[in-house]
Structure 1
Amino acid sequence: MLRLLTAGALASVASAAATRQSTSLVPSSSRWPSGLHLAVDYYPSQWPESMWEPDVARMAAANISYVRVNEFDWHVLEPTEGQYNFTLLDATLELFDRYGLKAILGTPTAGPPNWLTEKYDVDFVDRTNQTLQFGSRRHYSFSSFDYRLLSQNITQKLAERYGSNEVVVAWQLDNEFGCHDTVRSYDHNAIKRFQTWLEDKYTTIENMNNLQGRVFWSQEYVSFETVQPPFLEVYTTNYAHLLDWYTFSSDMLIDFAKEQASIIRQYAPNHAITTNMMMDFLDFDHHKFAREVGIDFATFDQYALAGPSVFTWLSDQQLTNSLRTGLPDYQAFHHALYRGVAGAAYGDISGPFGVMEMEPGVLNWNQYRVSPLEGMVRLWTHETFAASGDLVNYFRWRQVPYAQEQTLSGLFLSDNSEDQGFVEQQQVANEDMPLLRAAGADADTESQADVALVFDYTSHWVWGIEPYSGGWDVKKAQYTNPTVVYFDLAYIFYTSLRRLGLSIDIISPDQPLDGYKMVVVPSLPIIPDAFNTALSNYTGPVVFGPHTGSKTPELAYAPGLNPSAGTLRDRLPMRVTRVETPPDYAGSGVSYAGTTYNITGWEETIICQRDNATSNATITSTSRHRLGKAAACSSEGMHYLAFLPPVDLLVAYIGDVAAAANITALTGKKAGEGDDLGDAVRLLRRGNLLWVFNYGTEAASPPALDGDAELIIGEKGDIPAAGLAVWKLSS
């Protein structure tokens, strides 16, 4: 039977929380060593003790610097309530110290032990009102009052014991926050907190009813105590209420992480703090997380071969080409994203980041489970460093022969023999990294890119709440099978910039635009005040995608039609009067610079005029119902594309905008369509080092470089499939 924490336990944790009120969460890059570092995940509890020291000795010999441990060991640490056993972790850290390794210590709260779930009110409730049971992981609610206190308690016990341990270099909060669709729990604790959150936001129930438009369908609530989350309603839920729920759920996760971070800051002031985020996971606001939790460096889990399954619009040929390599821009997108997330913690555009889990072989959750093409583990490692990352951590040291991840590859097979991932890690460690360090790659080389791509988590939620397409699913409380997904749109814009060989930062709407030569905004339905202000002071070209400026913060249509009032409307006279989401067979298309492109999924009716001012129609429609009419408008350096653009069109259009702005590609040549790198070859630059990657399954010619360059890694001539080359540039 569930029960609440005892009064004594409540008092103890509450007293400690009061002490932490003054603890600063301000990050510091000095806590995390810059440079190039290799790491691995290791779980000694899953292996016989006789293997521990030989494993650790082999890690040291393999030029591993850091080892992540402990993130799933709560039951090991506290087998029964209040009885702690640190024997295993003590022994592990002593071994690391003996062999010169450092630890990244995980808080174990992603796996609540059975004694806890049996006694306390912590359960996760999904959107179908089903309580999820003990037996896997992440089976807790971020809103649970009990779990908040219990997680603080185990974190404090660890921080008190290891906060001054010099073997520990960093702490990872929890593990993959929100994974398995666990950001939004519909339990009674979440409902209670949501009601309070809404009252703090709206003050009165009348104000909430008004701003959410609840007069429609007689949806007015009589008090905050009667408010429910938007789920299990007969038909579509109130859009503003959904956005509130998504924002609230994100805030609960952030609050949970802040509580752990404040404990670690108190007891381990010299240790770095991070958490392992994920790829294409947008259920909580990572920029806000970084700002409020104060992470010292950002990390994410990179599973490249899971990427192609994310996009339903890929052709069969694209799926074939990327089956064993991953998509050529998927990893780089997340490197840039989390570099920007780290920057948000520091109030800057970029900050220190790395990969906390990198796949060395076959995954265990894809529909089709295949091996990486030989050379890809090495390529993915280089790609992280080329993007100014500091850490590549391989998951895991050895493939475990039992339980849920027994089919997931490690650096070693379960019989302790080398797997292909280890072979490639050794090539990086023993051959490549000495050359990179000698060429200066270890130096602090973060620099601002030429182009900023603006990425926004709220925009993802808005696109999902009302995608103008798909069918409503009551049990999922959302539209399913929409024609456009926000991440897909952002990825298409990013791919076009990569094909043009440009340097790219990915930033939030709250980060500064100063110094960028061009800004690209794939979509921003709700334009925040901070971005509007930054835009008003920015003088370079800006390319906007569809659905930008279309909504108020309450998810109503912008007064006067979009774009909403502000800098975009002031500088680009235009109006969007209708949105359509046509299927492939509709025959919709656009024309630019004499070339016609097929479009599908999103098509706005746009007029390049507002009041008495006009703008230029830079792209025209070839759709039968809008033949010859504007499909994009431009004025004073502002460009608005009113449709879902194909990559080839963006390469041409943005290439022209970049050329007009005199932007230089990473090759050293003036940017433009003529420098299209195609589908497989990609570039990244760190300091004066330029990487060329070949994601293709056949050899490819590297682009010609403008200026002196010394080849330091790779062979002259074509770059082999899954291969790379590194040049040291003269400037």
Structure 2
Amino acid sequence: MRRRTSPSGFDTAGIRPWNAGIDGLAFGGDYNPEQWPDDVRLEDIELMREAGVNIVSLAIFAWATVEPREGEFDWAWLDTTMDRLHAAGIRVALATATAAAPPWLTRKHPEILPQRSDGTVLHQGSRQTYSIHHPVFRDYAVGMAERVARRYADHPALALWHVDNEIGCHNPRDWSPAAADAFRDWLRERYGDLDDLNEAWGTAFWSQRYGSFDDVLPPRDTTAFGNPTQLLDFDRFNSDALLDYYRDLRDTLREITPHVPTTTNLMAGSHKEMDYFSWADDLDVVANDNYTLAADPDRHLLLSLSADLSRGIAGGDPWILMEHSTSAVNWQSRNRAKQPGEMLRNSLAHVARGSDAVMFFQWRASKAGAEKYHSALVPHAGTDSDLWRDVVALGGAVKALGEVRGSRVVARTALVLDWPAWWACEQDVHPTQVQYPDQVLAWYKALWRLGVTVDVVPPSRDLDGYDLVVVPTLYLVSDADAARVRAAAERGATVLITYFSGIVDENDHIRLGGYPGAYRDLLGVRTEEFFPLQEGESVRVSGASLPGGGLTADLWTEKSTVTDGVEVIAAYDDGPLPGGPAITRRTVPAGGDPGTVSAAAAPVSTAGTAAAAGPGGSAGPGVPAGSAGSAAARSSTGSAWYVATRLSDEGVAHIARRVADEAGVLPSAAVPEGVEVVRRVADGVEFVFAINHTDAEVTVDAGRPAPLSDTDAALAAVVGTDLLTGEDVTSPLTIPAGGVRVVRVPV
């Protein structure tokens, strides 16, 4: 757990580890005893022991049970539950009980209800039916958090404060009067005066200039297109406000229990509304919830992306998987149960990618309420069920992996992701509707299938230490963040940037002089106009180093020219810009030489460059296509690739292999399709997670990969011990269909 001074000024050095008192990895889930009679609660404790549960989240939705009427409190059931859990050796992540307001509160204070952009009031009857901006609600929520903290501050079961729950899941944007007041206050703090606000928002357009902060409203439904920067700032404001709500509750807890760590469960990978990178320093440990989509055959890849993003938010530190599902959920259009072995694979894939916990929603499946069809550790069928037997087996597997705790994932590839760029990219009135996650997912999936482990990082993160940096659709970027990508290439990294990147600054103002704006000099590419393709239209791109017949692309093309020395890897065969560059590569000398690719320099013609480099160019000076070259060569020069169109999956896969090979980040042995191999590293040991998502037996190289050793591991030698079975294993390692192996390999 990171030690630092929190933004609120608290010194966190005295905070104990969240998993103190837990032997190895954490295993458990949300526990809601208030839904059950006492005989069931007693049975719960015995079943938790049987399953190996060592931590539960408690009292998340308990406000109306603890305080059924204002000022009347019933703590007895919670006292008893805390005592029973402690007696059973089970630690508690105790919630503030604020995730759903009790009915008496919204009846007494209807002004705390949130509103939609059209003014519709959202009423009591669900969860999170409150405006976190309203001071009345904040006072009540802080008061409840304080009562919980004072009552259980010294309870021996208390391990961690679970602040609220999935903050912003159902009320991430609010247009209520309280939100409008808070938005104006946020703008005053951000801009200081109206001149700066008017300049940032470009209010000279459409007579929008403001003469008073009191005139500013949240971006409500209006007659035409809204002000883009106003919309962007409203997204920033709401994310900041939700974080500020967390801080209010966290600071209340910390005043009373300065030694107890705090967190809240994020929803990284599935929720657009919160900029979780900006939340990281306020969390003593990062916790995340992840739910797979039953209809998506690539759901295990999306799970991996969410896990890698959680690790990126945590700055590489171990984190907590706070919720996922044992089987089906209740909120998809078709809630299909998980296949045999899928719960184990899902759980250990999170551990492979940095989680020190395997937790679920929830402990016992509810018999009433909106989530009664959501799976749980104890299903409706009870303990005489395959699911329960799988839960007990999973508990044993998690216990067997105890020594993995605290180890870290090592990655040499970074994928840059940014929430403000996401918000700005998906606004209206753009050349075409670009969905920000589209290219994030496309390039992540391609690297996953190559066996390349990826750190998902914000553009503000230092990129030193990464040999491959992928920048998909970073539409909005500041000068400082753009410089970090350039510095990575100048240091010797391979950088790949896709279309619609670097177009605007942090105020959503166009970077003039030609696209791709912030990256124009680095790439040696200058685009005059975008030529988005029509629905159903596609183009072919070809080059000498591409597979026969070239690659297919759609959605996006650009009218571009390139500067001297830029290789045209692929040109358009057809479409609106035949012969124009579609994929380019520029060699970046150590330390950079931006003067040679100035935006003011006269670019050579596309045709001339293509002719000089050949129809597709090559992988680099003296480096054959598909060859990584020597480490020394990579350290002296970097490269900057630009993909100016949306390639098909096959095209992305081809270019991803090219750049991964060039950067030297490919595994030493090919990873079979449908298999993930991820390594966690500690002093003197590596833990190799090999997870087979296919229905056939496979073999993988369990030896140390080339980037982490001087020579390849001897394939026939004993390489380590399978922690799940206790057996010595050799490489290649056999993994049964749908199975998992976790091998301890001495370094």
TM-score normalised by the chain length of structure 1: 0.85
In 2: Cα distance, 1:113 partner to 1:328 partner? 37
Residue 523 of structure 1 is matched in structure 2 by 473
Residue 486 of structure 1 is matched in structure 2 by 436
Residue 556 of structure 2 is matched in structure 1 by 602
SS of alignment partner, residue 83 of structure 1: coil
Residues 614 and 195 of structure 1: is their aligned pair in 2 closer, same or farther, counting only changes over 3 Å? farther
In 2: Cα distance, 1:282 partner to 1:515 partner? 28
The correspondence of residues 206-355 of structure 1 with structure 2, limited to 5 A, is 206-278=195-267, 279-291=269-281, 294-305=282-293, 308=295, 319=296, 322=297, 327-343=299-315, 350-355=316-321
> CA-to-partner distance for each residue in 1:170-204, whole Å, 9 max, x for gaps?
11111111113x11100001111112222333333
Residues 28 and 664 of structure 1: is their aligned pair in 2 closer, same or farther, counting only changes over 3 Å? farther
Residue 46 of structure 1 is matched in structure 2 by 35
Q: Which moved more, 1:711-720 or 1:385-394?
A: 711-720
Which amino acid counterpart does residue 689 of structure 1 have in structure 2? Answer: F
Structure 1 stretches of 5 or more lacking a match?
1-19, 309-318, 344-349, 471-481, 670-674
CA shift, 1:398, in A, is 1.6
Which amino acid counterpart does residue 150 of structure 1 have in structure 2? Answer: Y
Q: Which moved more, 1:581-590 or 1:276-285?
A: 581-590
Q: Which moved more, 1:186-195 or 1:702-711?
A: 702-711
> CA-to-partner distance for each residue in 1:386-428, whole Å, 9 max, x for gaps?
1121011122222111111111121223363344333222222
Which amino acid counterpart does residue 401 of structure 2 have in structure 1? Answer: L
Q: Is the 8 A contact 2:417 2:456 kept in 1?
A: yes
Q: 1:663 aligns with which of 665, 685, 694?
A: 665
SS of alignment partner, residue 473 of structure 2: coil
In 1: Cα distance, 2:449 partner to 2:8 partner? 49
CA shift, 1:37, in A, is 1.6
Q: Is the 8 A contact 1:605 1:642 kept in 2?
A: no
CA shift, 1:97, in A, is 1.1
How many residue pairs were aligned? 657
In 1: Cα distance, 2:220 partner to 2:431 partner? 20
In 1: Cα distance, 2:529 partner to 2:37 partner? 65
In 1: Cα distance, 2:464 partner to 2:475 partner? 22
Residue 17 of structure 2 is matched in structure 1 by 30
Whether 1:729 aligns to 2:679 is no
CA shift, 1:67, in A, is 0.9
The correspondence of residues 254-653 of structure 1 with structure 2, limited to 5 A, is 254-278=243-267, 279-291=269-281, 294-305=282-293, 308=295, 319=296, 322=297, 327-343=299-315, 350-414=316-380, 416-430=382-396, 432-433=397-398, 435-437=400-402, 440-442=403-405, 444-466=406-428, 468=430, 482=433, 484-538=434-488, 539=491, 540-565=493-518, 568-583=519-534, 585-592=536-543, 593-595=545-547, 596-609=550-563, 615-635=566-586, 636=588, 637-653=639-655
Which amino acid counterpart does residue 495 of structure 1 have in structure 2? Answer: K
Residue 703 of structure 1 is matched in structure 2 by 700
CA shift, 1:703, in A, is 3.3
Q: 2:148 aligns with which of 151, 158, 163?
A: 158
TM-score normalised by the chain length of structure 2: 0.83
In 1: Cα distance, 2:408 partner to 2:192 partner? 44
Residue 71 of structure 1 is matched in structure 2 by 60
In 1: Cα distance, 2:188 partner to 2:326 partner? 48
Q: Is the 8 A contact 1:606 1:642 kept in 2?
A: no
CA shift, 1:494, in A, is 0.8
CA shift, 1:24, in A, is 4.0
Which amino acid counterpart does residue 120 of structure 2 have in structure 1? Answer: Q
SS of alignment partner, residue 304 of structure 1: coil
Q: Which moved more, 1:511-520 or 1:359-368?
A: 511-520
In 2: Cα distance, 1:677 partner to 1:459 partner? 34
> CA-to-partner distance for each residue in 1:293-327, whole Å, 9 max, x for gaps?
x2111122221135x5xxxxxxxxxx4xx2xxx62
Residues 212 and 21 of structure 1: is their aligned pair in 2 closer, same or farther, counting only changes over 3 Å? closer
Which amino acid counterpart does residue 691 of structure 2 have in structure 1? Answer: F
Residues 638 and 26 of structure 1: is their aligned pair in 2 closer, same or farther, counting only changes over 3 Å? farther
Q: 1:691 aligns with which of 689, 692, 695?
A: 689
Q: Is the 8 A contact 2:379 2:388 kept in 1?
A: no
Whether 1:115 aligns to 2:114 is no
Whether 1:89 aligns to 2:78 is yes
Which amino acid counterpart does residue 109 of structure 1 have in structure 2? Answer: T
SS of alignment partner, residue 453 of structure 1: strand
> CA-to-partner distance for each residue in 1:54-95, whole Å, 9 max, x for gaps?
211220221111011101011112222223222121111000
Structure 2 stretches of 5 or more lacking a match?
1-6, 589-638, 703-711
Which amino acid counterpart does residue 546 of structure 2 have in structure 1? Answer: G
In 1: Cα distance, 2:530 partner to 2:128 partner? 39
CA shift, 1:363, in A, is 1.1
Percent identity, please. Answer: 25
In 2: Cα distance, 1:580 partner to 1:542 partner? 24
> CA-to-partner distance for each residue in 1:569-601, whole Å, 9 max, x for gaps?
443221122223324531323235233222222
Q: Which moved more, 1:454-463 or 1:698-707?
A: 698-707
Q: Is the 8 A contact 1:711 1:727 kept in 2?
A: yes
Q: Which moved more, 1:572-581 or 1:37-46?
A: 572-581
> CA-to-partner distance for each residue in 1:492-516, whole Å, 9 max, x for gaps?
1111111111121111112221211
Q: Is the 8 A contact 2:25 2:399 kept in 1?
A: no
CA shift, 1:614, in A, is 5.2
In 2: Cα distance, 1:447 partner to 1:266 partner? 34
Q: Is the 8 A contact 2:700 2:733 kept in 1?
A: no
RMSD (Å), alpha carbons? 2.4
Q: Is the 8 A contact 2:229 2:508 kept in 1?
A: yes
SS of alignment partner, residue 599 of structure 1: strand
> CA-to-partner distance for each residue in 1:595-653, whole Å, 9 max, x for gaps?
322222233333223xxx55222222233322222012222111121122333223322
CA shift, 1:526, in A, is 2.1
